Structure 1
Amino acid sequence: MRYSGDWMVLADDRILEYIRENESGRPTAMANSGVVRYSRQYIHQRCKKLVEYGLLQHLGNGVYIITDRGERYLDGEIDTSEDAPDEVESHADDGPSASGNHEQV
């Protein structure tokens, strides 16, 4: 079971799943795949949000990869419901942490 924060939307799970399966992804490729059924612009916007919360890493040139934290979210090991972007960045050296209320996607 995955525990997502109020900041997350259904597209986020699809994006993370696509990138995990393909090892990396670009918004255009995701939109054209038929797996992530959203516009390239919307996927790009969500990827930036996922980077902000530490679930994706932007490598440049529109290429994104999933982080260990993103993998752990997909595996249901962490709860993103109480995350704040600045908290994620401040814990980057300590590794991901899980806490808080549980909301199912």
Structure 2
Amino acid sequence: MRKSGSWMTIWDDRILEYIRKEDSGSPKQLAESGYVRVSKSHVSRRLRTLAEHGLLTHLGNGVYVITERGEAYLDGELDTGEAGSDASLEADSGNGDGNEG
């Protein structure tokens, strides 16, 4: 069961699911896909927010990819509302440096 934080919206799960399935996504692709039924500008805001919380990485030119944190959230292994969720995921992954690449 996924544990979404209070900062998340109903569309965030759909956006993350789409990007995981397609390996990447942009506001235009998501808006045109029919998978999410909100405007391109709304998708763009949600992508930025998801990236700020470490669930996505912005590659540039509006393209985003899912992170290990994003995968863990979708798999029900990360509580995005928990204060210490960043540190606990890093400890579990053995990385701990907080760098995405």
TM range (shorter): 0.7 to 0.9
Question: Partner amino acid for 1:27?
Answer: P
Give the letter aligned to residue 76 of structure 2. Answer: G
Shift of residue 36 of structure 1? 1.3
Unaligned residue ranges in structure 2 (runs of 5+):
none
Q: Across the two proteins, how many residue pairs are aligned to each other? A: 93
**8 Å CA contact 1:4, 1:79 repeated in 2:** yes
**Where is the helix percentage greater, Structure 1 or Structure 2?**
2
TM-score by length of 1: 0.80
Are 1:2 and 2:32 matched, yes or no? Answer: no
- Greater RCO, 1 or 2 (C-alpha within 8 Å, sep 6+): 1
Counterparts of residues 62-101 of structure 1 (less than 5 Å): 62-83=62-83, 88=86, 94=96
Q: CA deviation at 1:94?
A: 1.2
- How far 1:45 sits from its partner (Å)? 0.1
Structure 1 contact 5–83 (Cα < 8 Å) conserved: no
Question: CA-to-partner distance for each residue in 1:8-64, whole Å, 9 max, x for gaps?
Answer: 001110100000000000011100000011110000000000000000000000000
- Identical-residue share of aligned pairs (%): 54
Matching residue of 1:48: 48
Cα separation, 1, equivalents of 2:97 and 2:2: 19
Partner of 1:28: 28
Q: TM-score normalized by structure 2? A: 0.83
User: CA 1:83–1:29 in 2, change beyond 3 Å: closer, same or farther?
Assistant: farther
**RMSD, matched Cα:** 2.3
